[in-house]
Amino acid sequence: MARIVQKYGGSSVADAASIKRVARRIARARQEGNDVVVVISAMGDATDELMDLALEVSPQPQPRELDMLLTTGERQSAALLAMALNDLGVPARSYTGSQAGVITTGLHGNARIIDITPGRVNKSLEAGNITIVAGFQGVSQDTKDVTTLGRGASDTTAVALAASLGAEYCEIYTDVDGVFTADPRIVPAAAPIPEITYEEMMEMAACGSKVLHLRCVEYARRENIPVHVRSSFDDKPGTWVTGHTDMKKGNEMEQAIITGVASDRGEAKITIVGVPDQIGKAARIFDVIAEAEINIDVIVQNASAATGRTDISFTLPMSDGKRAIDALKAGQDEIGFEKLLYDDQIGKLSVIGVGMRTHPGVTARFFDALAEQDINIDMISTSEIRISVVVEVDLLDRAVRAAHTAFGLDADGEAVVYAGTGR
Ligand code: ADP
Ligand code: ASP
Ligand code: MG
């Protein structure tokens, strides 16, 4: 029997009827002769709703208790799916992340998987069960408390399990037909991508394409697990994320310059005004941010004015905004800056593609497309295979569509979004 790991996202199990539909699909995979492990997300927007509830009760919930609360979403859907499968005559058992042996670090809300001890999962498979694992959660190695792995991290649970169980590949079932050249909710003309490399998918995920969780792709690359992203609403093949793609091995001429356009509304910008233009000041600022365990992204430092002071701006996840401001304020006297500005009305837009390594003029074409739409660029950052800009959030979607068209990515047909609220 082949071992396969299938992950179903929240929009694929939003209600009772969807759970039964997914159960029929899993039963089919079983009838085809596979040992099936299923990783399941919370129903629909359940995680967001639990989060809203927590914030109504407490403005700053304790991270440990928040994880206790949020993990119930996946526990619910896992148990319901097991019931639906058993009713179809297919034996199934559900397990929490902790029961399934997902061992993590202790950082609540953003724990990392250290190891998977799949003893119980293996036993359950050997007993002939479809084995359902609640996604996005584990247990801290040190404290034995329940942890969550970050928003969207059921994808990561699935790939980690696939690696530890020796599965040939991992299937990620979602509400679109795979990875597209842009988010189909923003760009109806987005084109499906049949194959994409881990490298490019990591950039897309890091730049806001939430179709796959970033750490899932990192894990898949490290363990060399092919990932098949596809719709749970039809039988079309989707996107294979692998170490190489046939298209790109061959004819360089055929290679698209840009593989996709990604956007992110989840970042904010902090500007530190009047930083003394002295050696070590920038280092101290980013020490303070690093000590608060905050990841920053785009950084810009203005040319020093005649005053001997400069402004430094950087972007960071909006959810870390308050902590960053508090940390910087605590260091204000020592660093000697004048004031802090905070702006969460920004959006980041990125064009990604290994093809840009060998094609000059990508930046010019990108910026021209934005200029034609009268869109001002606030910040810029680049890597070998990515160009990102920060723009006003209200202009973000228009900017994404303009870039998509400018790089010739528009498809003739319209991309289908089968379900979900995009929340
Ligand atoms: P799930 O609940 O299945 O985990 P998600 O909402 O996390 O689903 O991810 C699927 C969504 O990702 C799609 O509905 C789509 O709006 C969004 N998305 C963003 N960028 C892309 C992209 N490049 N290709 C496909 N979907 C994308
Ligand atoms: N339910 C979790 C979330 O909404 C995890 C996931 O769906 O991947 O973030
Ligand atoms: Mg997801």
pLDDT at position 202, please?
96
Calpha distance 326→316 (Å, rounded): 14
Q: 254: CA distance to ligand 3 center in Å?
A: 31
Q: Which ligand is nearest to the CA of 172?
A: 1
Average pLDDT over residues 295-313: 87
Predicted TM-score (pTM) of this structure = 0.92
pLDDT for residue 254: 52
Percent share of the chain, pLDDT over 90: 88
- Residues 128-148 have a mean pLDDT of 98
Residues in contact with ligand 2 by the CB-under-6-Å rule are 9-10, 41-42, 47, 73, 135-136, 151-155
CA of 152, closest atom in ligand 1: 7
395 Cα to the center of ligand 1, angstroms: 21
Q: Residue 234 has what pLDDT?
A: 93
Judged against a pLDDT cut of 70, whether residue 322 lies above it is answered with: yes
Ligand 3 centroid vs 99 CA: distance in angstroms? 22
**Ligand 1: does its nearest atom lie under 6 Å from the Cβ of 175?**
yes
CA of 404 from ligand 1 middle (Å) equals 17
Query: How far away, in angstroms, is 44 Cα from ligand 1 center?
Result: 13
Candidates 117, 110, 152; CA nearest to 135 is 152
Residue 40 CA to residue 21 CA, distance in Å, equals: 14
Long-range pairs for 340-344 at CB < 8 Å and ≥24 separation?
340/270, 340/271, 340/272, 340/273, 341/270, 341/271, 341/273, 342/268, 342/269, 342/270, 343/268, 343/269, 343/270, 343/271, 344/268, 344/269, 344/318
**Are the C-beta atoms of residues 348 and 207 closer than 8 Å to each other?**
yes
Nearest to 113 by CA among 146, 138, 130: 138
In this prediction, residue 63 carries a pLDDT of: 96
Which residue from 151, 159, 174, 175 has its CB within 8 A of the most atoms of ligand 2, so it is best to mutate? 151
For residue 423, the model assigns a pLDDT of 74
The helix or strand, by DSSP H or E, that contains position 65, with its residue range, turns out to be: helix 63-87
pLDDT tens-digit map of 140-151 = 999 999 999 999
Nearest ligand 2 atom to alpha carbon 9:
7
Among 89-93, 205-209, 250-254, the minimum mean pLDDT is found in 250-254
Give the mutation target among 22, 25, 176, 200 for probing the ligand 1 site: most ligand atoms within 8 A of CB: 176
Of 75-79, 132-136, 239-243, 418-422, the one with minimum mean pLDDT is 418-422
Q: What is the pLDDT of residue 184?
A: 97
CB 71 less than 6 A from any atom of ligand 1: no
Measure 304 CA to ligand 2 centroid, in angstroms.
44
Q: 164-178 pLDDT, tens per residue?
A: 999 999 999 999 999
Supply the pLDDT for residue 121. Answer: 97
For ligand 1, is residue 9 a contact (CB within 6 Å)?
Answer: yes
> CA-CA distance, 155 to 6, in Å (whole number)?
10
Are the C-beta atoms of residues 153 and 110 closer than 8 Å to each other?
no
pLDDT for the residue numbered 53? 98
- Specify the pLDDT at position 245: 75
Closest ligand 1 atom number to CA of residue 209: 20
Binding site per annotation, positions for substrate: 47, 74
Checking if the pLDDT of 252 tops 90, the result is: no
Say if residue 247's pLDDT is above 90: no
As a whole number, mean pLDDT of residues 333-344 equals 95
Ligand of minimum distance to the alpha carbon of 73: 2
Residue 152, pLDDT score? 96
Judged by its nearest atom, the ligand closest to the C-alpha of residue 422 is 1
pLDDT interval class at 260 (50, 70, 90): very high
Calculate the average pLDDT of the chain: 94
Ligand 2 centroid distance, CA of 74 (Å)? 8
Output the CA 302–ligand 3 centroid distance in Å.
37
pLDDT of residue 251: 47
Q: What confidence tier does 255 reach under pLDDT thresholds 50, 70, 90? A: low
Instruction: Give the residue numbers of the binding site for ATP.
Output: 7-10, 174-175, 185, 210-211
Nearest ligand, CA 42: 2
Residue 373 has pLDDT above 90, yes or no: yes
Q: Whose CA is nearest to atom 9 of ligand 2?
A: 151
C-alpha 209 – ligand 3 centre gap (Å): 10
Give the pLDDT score at 249: 46
Nearest CA, atom 6, ligand 2: 152
More confidently predicted of 277 and 254: 277
pLDDT digits (tens, 9 = 90+) for 208-242: 999 999 999 999 999 999 999 999 999 999 999 99
User: Three-state SS for 312?
Assistant: strand
Enumerate residues with CB within 5 Å of ligand 3 (an ion): 9, 152
Give the pairing type, strands 339-343 and 267-276. antiparallel
Going along the chain from its start, the domains and CATH numbers come out as 2-244 (3.40.1160.10), 251-410 (3.30.2130.10)
Q: Which ligand is nearest to the CA of 47?
A: 2
